[in-house]
Structure 1
Amino acid sequence: MDLTARWFPGHLAEIDRDECLELLGRSEVGRVGLGEPAGPLVLPVNHVMVGEGIVFRTVPRTAIADHVGAGRLSYQVDELGSCMSSGWSVLARGTADFVDGPWLEEHDIEPEPWTDVRRTLFVRITPTQITGRRVLPA
């Protein structure tokens, strides 16, 4: 965070890319955002980071699976404190592709879903843009 930023209640400060990546890495859950004919769709998933890639699991024939490779999507993580009117939010926009067993073994990861639904597809979002903002406490 820019230490020269003015620290006063309600001040909105941009977060640089490195800190955005750190916050993505510290977070376990975020939301995938994608465009649907009925309007934007936002779905929560748990994730792990591999470099700048965001990796999570999903099931076949879902809105998320249908969008992989078909266009751009977004991923957001945040932490908000309503009692202090403060927090931060990071938004990653980019493309997504499926990754398979050899890639997962090479990177020694396997994000575990929080639900008991069998999620057999592994998705990696490759961000082309990462932005973040922080609102300082009142």
Structure 2
Amino acid sequence: MTNDERWFPSHLKELGEPECLELLAEHHVGRVAYCDDLGPVVLPVNYAVDQGTILIQTSPHSTLASRLRTAPASFQIDEFDEYTQTGWSVLVRGSAAYVDPTDLPADEDRPHTWAEGQRSLHIRITPHEISGRRLLPA
């Protein structure tokens, strides 16, 4: 479908932080972004929201673990419908750090990864800024 074939125009609406947090709590797959020596890297991850922070789980030997020991990081989730050309996105910008195992929530509140393998390290992204946008039909 080209822009000329759209059934209706769409417009952007900024989302408030409460709605962004609600969307984050309703989903469990997102993308974590950080920079390495070659530039930006974006990886899909499973996550959980824990007391207003993003909790991800990875292998202690992964590149993700080495880059997010203590570093700036972004996290993003979205959902789009290409047919209606509507959707939303939420962006979290903050700092990442390893989580002490004694500070983890109960097991059922932790992220559960889809990929096989040992993922015993948890990383917490503490938000400094949360923003979102929704693409709505006019």
After TM superposition, the score normalised by the length of structure 2 is: 0.87
The CA distance in 2 between the partners of 1:39 and 1:117, in whole Å, is 27
For the Cα contact (< 8 Å) 1:87–1:137, is it kept in 2? no
SS in 1 for 2:70: coil
Q: Deviations over 1:23-65 (max 9, x none)?
A: 0111110000011221210000011111211111011232321
The CA distance in 1 between the partners of 2:9 and 2:131, in whole Å, is 21
For the Cα contact (< 8 Å) 1:53–1:124, is it kept in 2? yes
Corresponding residue of 1:37:
37
The CA distance in 2 between the partners of 1:79 and 1:61, in whole Å, is 31
Corresponding residue of 2:65:
65
The gaps in structure 1 that reach 5 residues or longer are 1-7
The CA distance in 2 between the partners of 1:54 and 1:74, in whole Å, is 10
The CA distance in 2 between the partners of 1:110 and 1:87, in whole Å, is 27
The CA distance in 2 between the partners of 1:39 and 1:137, in whole Å, is 35
The CA distance in 2 between the partners of 1:110 and 1:14, in whole Å, is 29
Q: 1:101 Cα shift?
A: 2.4
Q: Which runs of 4+ in 1 moved over 6 A?
A: none
Q: How does 1:30-109 map onto structure 2 within 5 Å?
A: 30-104=30-104, 107-108=105-106, 109=109
SS in 2 for 1:49: strand
